[in-house]
Amino acid sequence: MKKINFGSGNICPKGWTSLDSSPSTIFAKLPYQDILKQIFIKTKLVNKEIFNSKWPKNIKFWDIRWGIPFRDNSVDIVFTSHFLEHLPQKAALNFLNKCYVILKKDGIIRIVVPDIDIILGNYSKDFRKQPIDAINELNLRIFEEGQHKHMYSYKSLSAILSKIGFRNIKKMDYRKSRISDIDKLETPKLKYYTSLYIEAQK
C-alpha cells in the first residue's frame, strides 16, 4: 500500500512516504549534525529555527511546484495537514487535481486545514469581551504572519473536491478516519481546535 504525506514536517512514520520542502529536510541527511549546526547558526547562513526540532532521515525533500512525483492511479492514500492553506488558490487547486490523478480508484485523501468558520466564530464571541485581543488573534489565525495564502470552510473545500471528482466527502474529527494508522500522523501536539478535518475518495 502506497501512502503519501505531503508537507509532512517532521512527522514521518514508517509505512508513509513523507515529503516536505523545508531546508531542514536537507540538513537532516547531512553528516556531523552538531558541528554543522553551530557553523550555520554562527555564520547566519540559515535561521536557527530550522534546528529547533529533529528531522528524521526518511523524509524526502520535494517542492510541489516541481509537480507530484508519482504515477497516475498508483497511490492508496494522500494525507496533508496544515499545508494547503500555504498555497495560493491556483496552486492549491492544481495540487488537489494532481492528488486525484495519482490516487487509485477508491483511494482516500485526508486534508487538515484551519477552519475559517471556527476562527470567525471564536472572533465573534471574544470580540465582545476583549476586542483588541480578538482582532489580533483573528489576524494571526488567518494570515499567520503572511504564511497563509487561502482559507477554507467545510462548504468551500467540499465543493472544490466535488468539482474535481472526489466522492464520499465527509467532515471528520481529530483521529477519526478511514485511515487505520491515522494516530501516527495526527499526534497530540498537532491537535488544533480550530482545524477542519475532511476526507474524500476517488
pLDDT one-digit tens code per residue, 17-53: 999 887 666 666 666 666 666 666 666 655 555 555 5
φ, ψ of residue 191 in degrees (nearest 5): -85, 110
Residue 1 confidence (pLDDT) above 70: yes
**Tens digits of residue pLDDT in 46-81:** 555 555 556 677 788 888 888 899 999 999 999 999
Phi-psi sector, 174: left (phi>0), alpha (psi -120 to 50), beta? beta
β-pairing, 75-81 vs 3-6, is: parallel
Query: What is the structure's pLDDT at 91?
Result: 95
| pTM, two decimal places | 0.83
3-class DSSP state for residue 12?
coil
- Cα distances (angstroms) measured from residue 102 to each of 45, 68, 161: 37, 8, 15
**Tens digits of residue pLDDT in 146-161:** 889 999 999 999 999 9
Residue 14 confidence (pLDDT) above 80: yes
DSSP conformational letter for 115:
B
**Tens digits of residue pLDDT in 102-114:** 999 999 999 999 9
Query: What is the structure's pLDDT at 188?
Result: 80
* Stretch(es) of the chain classified as CATH 3.40.50.150: 3-20+62-201
Query: What is the structure's pLDDT at 125?
Result: 74
The third-level CATH classification (topology) of the domain covering 3-20+62-201 is Rossmann fold (3.40.50)
